[in-house]
Structures are given as structure tokens and as C-alpha cells.
């Protein structure tokens, strides 16, 4: 099985990195693919450019083998749709795909492009995130609920699973706010990423 962890990563922080590593171990994955979004369709523009966000991811991951950076959305024209990304991955591998979504992202899922068809190509695993209350589940989701992790391996796609992970109340929004006001975000994200932000004068008002 392969894990897919998409995001704007504006910037990447330990909330993302710790989650990805824990999920890799919990689901005994080959690896987790971190996929930066080029042009998000469901939110306002990013503060850093796609190339800068990719570079920060590279600095954060270093030579950690468990996490793979996948820049496919940056190589495509137009909006970055998760459905397209999963379909492209599906064409290249027979492995089961697990799409990881934080609870805030999952609450928005029904607004995503071809969201129902995402379940034709992958399982969706929702990870807990501090300060986010899950919306109540509609019929579409309820009938896909899986409470036994081993079933994810048995079926190739279509399941919905909820996974608790270590709660880290870190968000990119808060980090951008700290950088803008000159308050140090140290220990919320890797030093190499902070150095890059400072060097390129990102997230200044
Ligand atoms: P922003 O504050 O700009 O919205 P973010 O910190 O939520 O950014 P994203 O890149 O938007 O980061 O998130 C990518 C994915 O990682 C989403 O599924 C999100 O729910 C999840 N995620 C982000 N931060 C955490 C965290 N601290 N714990 C668990 N999941 C997280």
C-alpha cells in the first residue's frame, strides 16, 4: 500500500511530517507520497510559490526514505485536483492507495472535484487534528466506514477509515502569522525550512 498526503505545504511543518511518518508505520506502507498542490481549487492563493513550497518540502524531508516527494501536480496545467492525481497514480501502480486527509480537509471533501469517484481509486483515511470537530457523516460516507484496518488491504479502494495520531496543534497559517510579526516559529518546523523562509523573505506582510 502507498500513502498519499497532499497539501499546500505553505510552509511544511512538523504537523505534516510527524503525521506522515506515523501513518507510514501504522499502515505498514511502502512509503508516503507528499504531493504539493500547484494551484488549489478550493482555497485562496498560496503565499509562497509552488516552486518555493516544493523546495521547502525537499529541505524538510532530506534523505528520509519513508517519505517521497511527488511533484506531479506542479507539472500539470490548471487546477490541482486530487482525483486526477490519484487516477494518474492508479495507472502506474497496482498497489492500494490510501488518501490521508486531516479532519479539516475531510470536512470539505464534498466540495472537491469528482469527490465521490475518489473512492473508486483509493481508500480515504481521516486523521485527527486538534481544534477540528468532524461534521456528522452522511449516508455516502457511513456505508463506506471500515473499522478493521486489515480490510483496507483486502479491498483495493472505497473504504473510509478514521485514524488517531499524535496531536500537534501546528498550522501553516499560524506559522505565516508568526513570520509576519517577527515571532519565532522555531521547533514547529525544521530549521532548514525556517532558514529558507528567512533567506527568501517569505511570509512578510
Ligand atoms: P493552512 O494553515 O495554510 O491551511 P495547514 O497547516 O492546514 O495549512 P495544509 O498544507 O493545508 O497545512 O495541510 C495538508 C494536509 O495536512 C491536510 O489534510 C491537513 O488537514 C493536514 N494537516 C495539516 N496540519 C496538520 C496537523 N497539525 N495535524 C494533522 N494533520 C495536519
In a domain, 187, yes or no: no
Give the pLDDT of residue 188: 98
Give the burial class of 107: count Cβ atoms within 10 A of its Cβ; 0-12 exposed, 13-18 middle, 19 or more buried.
Answer: middle
The radius of gyration computed from the CA coordinates of the chain, to the nearest angstrom, equals 17
More confident residue, 70 or 77: 70
Q: Is residue 186 part of a domain?
A: no
For the chain, how many structural domains are there in total? 1
Confidence of residue 42 (pLDDT cuts 50, 70, 90): low
Distance separating alpha carbons of residues 129 and 102, to the nearest angstrom: 6
Residue 201 inside a domain? The answer is no
Average pLDDT for 99-125? 97
In a domain? residue 148: yes
State if residue 7 touches ligand 1 by the CB under 6 angstroms criterion. Answer: yes
Ligand 1 pocket mutation pick from 105, 106, 176 by most atoms within 8 angstroms of CB: 105
Sheet (strand 31-36) strand order: 67-69, 31-36, 2-7, 97-102, 123-127, 160-163
Residue 15 beta carbon below 6 angstroms from any ligand 1 atom: yes
In a domain, 204, yes or no: no
State the pLDDT at residue 43: 61
Identify the weakest region by mean pLDDT among 38-42, 129-133, 200-204. 38-42
Percent of the chain at pLDDT above 70? 98
Average pLDDT over residues 35-62: 89
Q: Which of 21, 35, 1 lies closest to 64, judged by CA?
A: 21
* Residue 115 belongs to some domain of the structure: yes
Residue 197: inside a domain:
no
* CATH number, position 114: 3.40.50.620
What confidence category does residue 96 fall into, taking pLDDT thresholds of 50, 70 and 90?
Answer: very high
3-state DSSP assignment of residue 201: coil
Residues paired with 36 in a beta bridge: 7
Q: How confident is the model at residue 78 (pLDDT cuts 50, 70, 90)?
A: confident
- Protein residue whose Cα sits closest to atom 15 of ligand 1: 7
Range of the domain at 110: 2-170
> In the predicted model, is pLDDT for residue 70 greater than 70?
yes
Amino acid at each position: 500500500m502507498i500513502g498519499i498526503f497532499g497539501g499546500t505545504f505553505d510552509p511544511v511543518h512538523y504537523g505534516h511530517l510527524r503525521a506522515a511518518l506515523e501513518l507510514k508505520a501504522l499502515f505498514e506502507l511502502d512509503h508516503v507520497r507528499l504531493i504539493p498542490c500547484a494551484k488549489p481549487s478550493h482555497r485562496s492563493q498560496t503565499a509562497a510559490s509552488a516552486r518555493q513550497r516544493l523546495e521547502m518540502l525537499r529541505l524538510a524531508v532530506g534523505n528520509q526514505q519513508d517519505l517521497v516527494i511527488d511533484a506531479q501536480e506542479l507539472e500539470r496545467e490548471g487546477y490541482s485536483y486530487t482525483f486526477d492525481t490519484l487516477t494518474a497514480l492508479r495507472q502506474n501502480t497496482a498497489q492500494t492507495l490510501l488518501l490521508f486527509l486531516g479532519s479539516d480537509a475531510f470536512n470539505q471533501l464534498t466540495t472537491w472535484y469528482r469527490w465521490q469517484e475518489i473512492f473508486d481509486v483509493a481508500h480515504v483515511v481521516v486523521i485527527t487534528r486538534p481544534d477540528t470537530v468532524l461534521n456528522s457523516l452522511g449516508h455516502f460516507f457511513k456505508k463506506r466506514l471500515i473499522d478493521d484496518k486489515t480490510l483496507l488491504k483486502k479491498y483495493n479502494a472505497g473504504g473510509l477509515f478514521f485514524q488517531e495520531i499524535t496531536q500537534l496543534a501546528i498550522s501553516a497559517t499560524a506559522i505565516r502569522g508568526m513570520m509576519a510579526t517577527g515571532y519565532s516559529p522555531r521547533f514547529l518546523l525544521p530549521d532548514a525550512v525556517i532558514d529558507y523562509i528567512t533567506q527568501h523573505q517569505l511570509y512578510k506582510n
